[in-house]
Structure 1
Amino acid sequence: MEARHSALCAEEAEDAVKELRAELAKAGIILPSLGLDPVSLVREAPCPLVESVRRSPGTARRLAAVRR
């Protein structure tokens, strides 16, 4: 059961990354660091987090504008 849960979590996280990447691209925003958090992948029962760090202040402002 735990392995199935982990597989579903990983699939959901990968889908979320693809969806977010596509929506940001529509707004002209590309985040090269957008992906799955490697630390959360190595847990005994992985349920990965989405990571999107290391962006410039300009990109952060553009993300905030999209959010508004």
Structure 2
Amino acid sequence: MHSPAEAGARVEESRAALAAHGITLPSLGIDLPASASRCPTRPLIALGNCDLLTAEALTAALREGAA
């Protein structure tokens, strides 16, 4: 079971990790409709939309991390 506070902490950790690579996802946050519906014990994190440059930077950071 996960609390909203835990979900918020994961969002902030994700935001910080992305920022370390110069990546900002403005829509990053807790998915409120999902949290209020079927399974509030498993909140979803919405990564949100991003432009092509941000998507390229995210892909590059993930590839670098996997290498």
TM-score, scaled to structure 2? 0.79
Alignment partner of 2:18 out of 21, 24, 27? 24
Is the radius of gyration larger for structure 1 or structure 2? 1
Match of 1:14 among 8, 26, 34: 8
Deviates more, 1:55-64 or 1:40-49: 40-49
- Count of equivalent residues: 62
CA distance in 2, matches of 1:55, 1:17: 16
Q: Which amino acid aligns with 1:36?
A: I
Q: 1:45, CA displacement in angstroms?
A: 4.5
Root-mean-square deviation (Å) = 1.5
Q: Which stretches in structure 1 are left out of the alignment for 5+ residues?
A: none
TM-score w.r.t. length of structure 1: 0.78
* Structure 2 counterpart of 1:43: 37
Aligned to 2:60: 65
Q: Cα deviation per residue 1:2-46 (whole Å; 9 max; x = unaligned)?
A: xxx3xx342322111111100111111111100001111212541
Q: Which amino acid aligns with 2:32?
A: P
Instruction: Please give the alpha-carbon distance, in whole angstroms, between the structure 2 residues aligned to 1:39 and 1:11.
Output: 16
Structure 1 residue matching 2:49: 3-state secondary structure? coil
